[in-house]
Amino acid sequence: MWARVWAIFIKELKELSRDRMTFAMIIMIPLTQLMLFGYAINTDARHIPVGLVDLSQTSESRAVEQAIVATQSVDFVSRYASIKEAEVAITKGDISAVLYLPADMTRRLFSHPLYDHQQPYSALTRPIGQWIVDGSDTVIAASIRALRNLPLDEINGLATARTAPSFEVVQYYNPEQRTVVNTLPGLLAVILTMTMILFTSAAIVREQEQGNMEFLITTPVRPIELMIGKIAPYVIVGLVQVTIILSMGHWIFAVPIKGGLLSLFFASLLFIFASLALGLVISTIAKTQLQAMQMTIFILLPSILLSGFMFPYDAMPVAAQWIAEALPATHFMRMIRAIVLRDANILLLGKDALWLGLFTMAGLAIASLRFNKKLE
Amino acid sequence: MNTDSTKEQQVVEYAIEAQGLTKRFGNNIAVNQFDLRIPKGSIYGFLGPNGCGKSTCMRLLTGLLEPTEGQIRILGENLAGHEESLKQRMGYMTQKFSLYEKLTVRENLDFVGAVYGLSRARRKIRIEELLTLYDLEHQTKQFAGSMSGGQRQRLALACATLHSPELLFLDEPTSAVDPENRREFWERLFDLCSVGTTILVSTHYMDEAERCHALAIMEQGYKRADGSPKTLMETMPATVVEVSGDELRQLKQNLIQHSEIMSAAQIGAHLRVLVKQEVQDPLGFIKQLSAGRNAVLARPSLEDVFVACTGGRHVG
């Protein structure tokens, strides 16, 4: 049995190493995608282009503008004479929001309790201006909403009587709130899902398309031997990719790798196996490599969008969470973030590990059963 | 003991026995009520046009396809239920080149040897033997994908015979090979046959079919005739008359109007006419129709048998 598995393993490895394009992609996919997304993905929106309609035109209105610019959340890129012009600019997409400061802004400011702590809150307290926001992008809208309670006392230089906050927030594990710290382990899951499933989903179909299968099934080779021999080389490929991503993340993006390397290795291995098993199942269903590719994308998209990589798992409706639970990527995402960022031990993550293990076995069994040694 | 072994020998005297073999794909019948008996140590041919069921039949006999009806016994064992153990005793060379183009000649052989469970030492010896036998010693490091048709075919045969099978299936082995290589290839088949290997080969070349010990003529899933080439030629249900003279095309058009004439085909300066058996004096009959042209009786060829068996439907 193992002699045959070994023969298939060696054969697959040789074929892989001679396919230069594929070989290059194994290295280039993690390298380029990591560089690209590590720098590009940022949920902390800054320097949003906005407009200004200043009907007040006073030194106070300029002081308010300065205070807002100082937050770095927005950049005032253009000024408009009327709110109508500004609305057109939002529709065209030139700016994401506009700040409207009315003609009586100075009077409103002086009577505002946030500006002058002597002033009482009353029914007559009115906002000093209005933000009109293109709310279609929720991340941008949220950044501007954060400006709602801009401290106004800094404008008059009286910023002394600060009240103590209700809560103190201590941020563990990512104190600087850098997005890349959370993105990078997630990217590991996405890249592994993509390459692992794609490679194996094509593995059996390719033999069929190239006509090797007809010969292979007349030999005494057993389906399970073929399956194991076929996926084994990609385990190595997967581990190479894990190494590339994590070491790049560590050296270039300064992502702290807190957890033990053994836990990390074990979790990655579990996920690689689960993805490969899934790929094999696809491979026994697809008739052509194109179909295999389509099915891979069918799995890949929810793995990116539902696994917690882009949007928090807890924010999703229950039904979507069930779907997410079925995907190996979700479990790996949870494990890898826990291990890399929070120094969790694999034993703490037993449930996710168990699911990946069961998924792998079920996948292998289904693939072996589905692959019968007949031509029909 | 003695009686047991002789009894066993009697049972295993056929390498392949099939009865009532039928294969349907949906409403399509690819193989219809096919009976077959191939004695051990012989070369048996399937002769027929493309799509006549040769490949399907061969796939049924190797266990690649499941028959809709019928029984198959291979090397004395029922095929159903023993496919895997029998695979160790059978070799199969597919119609399309089915080895790995990105592996070298030696790597392909080594892979096939390992898959058939040959030990490392045995593999090494067998591979050297086969490289010499099939004239591939100088190509060991060449990728299979970059080889010529003849070389590929020799490599495929080497791979199919690496584990010294008792029964060898060859599905149109010479379709991508020039005549010179075809001759050599058949020499090698006879070598294999002489050491006791039974060979089942499908072809649409008449000259190849003629080399077989026995053959089956197939058409549209039916076996139309079988036997040795000699028997087939002697017992064919028609007489061959060769006509020579002028305006043979015109004559052909006239002749094929008659129901007694099975077919007429121009071959060089002759018109080869197949006259149905029931005509008492075929030569006289043709002479009378061919208006003074020269007509003689001719020795039947396998092609004539083929045409006679298939009713001339495949000759243009």
Band of residue B10 on the pLDDT scale cut at 50, 70, 90: low
* CA torsion through residues A219, A222, A227, A230, sign: negative
- Please give the torsion angle defined by the CA atoms of residues A92, A95, A101 and A102, in that order, rounded to the nearest 10 degrees: 0
**Is residue A152 a part of any domain in this protein?**
no
In a domain, A164, yes or no: no
User: What predicted TM-score, i.e. pTM, was given to this entire model?
Assistant: 0.80
pLDDT at B308 over 50: yes
Pairing of strands B198-203, B167-171: parallel
Coil, helix or strand for A137? coil
Residues A62 and A201 in one domain: no
- Token pair 């046009």 in the structure block, residue: B49
Which residue, among A8, A215, A376, would best test binding to B if mutated, counting the most B CBs under 10 Å from its CB?
A215
Supply the CATH number for residue A125's domain.
3.40.190
Identify whether residues A283 and A265 lie together within a single domain.
Answer: yes
Cβ of B98 within 8 Å of Cβ of A214? The answer is yes
- Diameter over CA atoms, chain A: 93
Most A CBs within 10 A among B25, B31, B56, B64, hence the mutation to make, goes to: B64
DSSP type of residue A165: P
Distance CA B110, CA B120 (A): 9
Instruction: Note whether A78 and A204 are same-domain residues.
Output: no
Sequence spans of domains, chain B:
12-232, 237-299
Query: Do residue A302 and residue A198 come from a single domain?
Result: yes
Answer whether residue A96 is part of any domain: yes
In a domain, A151, yes or no: no
Closest listed residue to residue B31, CA positions, set B46, B44, B15, B45: B46
Say yes or no: A205 and A350 in one domain.
Answer: yes
| Number of separate domains in chain A | 2
Angle A29-A24-A186 from CA coordinates, rounded to 5°: 20
pLDDT at residue B314, as a whole number:
47
Q: Which domain holds residue A291?
A: 10-41+177-370
Between the CA of residue A103 and those of A60, A125, A126, A127, A150, what are the distances in Å? 12, 16, 13, 13, 20
Average pLDDT, chain B: 88
Does residue B6 surpass a pLDDT of 60? no
How many Å apart are CA B209 and CA A265, to the nearest integer? 61
**Maximum average pLDDT range among A253-262, A289-298, B259-268:** A289-298
Residue type, A55: L
* Crossing angle for the helix pair B248-255 and B282-289, to the nearest 10 degrees: 120
Please tell me whether residues A195 and A122 are part of one structural domain.
no
Asked whether the predicted pLDDT for residue B209 surpasses 50, the reply is yes
pLDDT at A88: 93
Last residue of a domain, one of A99, A128, A145: A145
> A69 and A15 in one domain?
no
pLDDT in tens, B43-91: 999 998 888 889 999 999 998 899 999 999 999 899 988 988 999 999 9
Whether A256 is in a domain gets the answer yes
Q: Do B64 and A217 touch (CB under 8 A)?
A: yes
- Candidate from B87, B100, B117 with C-beta closest to A218: B87
Q: For the residues A102-130, what does the mean pLDDT come to?
A: 85
Verify that A138 and A186 share a domain, yes or no: no
Q: Do B64 and A216 touch (CB under 8 A)?
A: no
Q: Are B123 and B110 in contact (CB under 8 A)?
A: yes
Same domain, A31 and A140: no
A3 located within any domain: no
The answer to whether residues A19 and A98 belong to one domain is no
Minimum-distance CB partner of A211 among B65, B83, B98:
B98
* Mean pLDDT confidence for B196-224: 91
Interface check for A370 against chain B (CB to CB < 8 A): the answer is no
A218: nearest CA in chain B? B87
Q: Which fold has domain B237-299?
A: Alpha-Beta Plaits (3.30.70)
Domain B12-232 carries which CATH code? Answer: 3.40.50.300
Tell me if A279 is assigned to some domain: yes
Q: Is the pLDDT of residue A160 over 70?
A: no
Would A158 be classed as within a structural domain? no
Q: What average pLDDT score do residues A58-69 get?
A: 90
* A132/A188 same-domain check: no
Q: Shortest CA distance to B150 belongs to which of B175, B170, B172?
A: B175
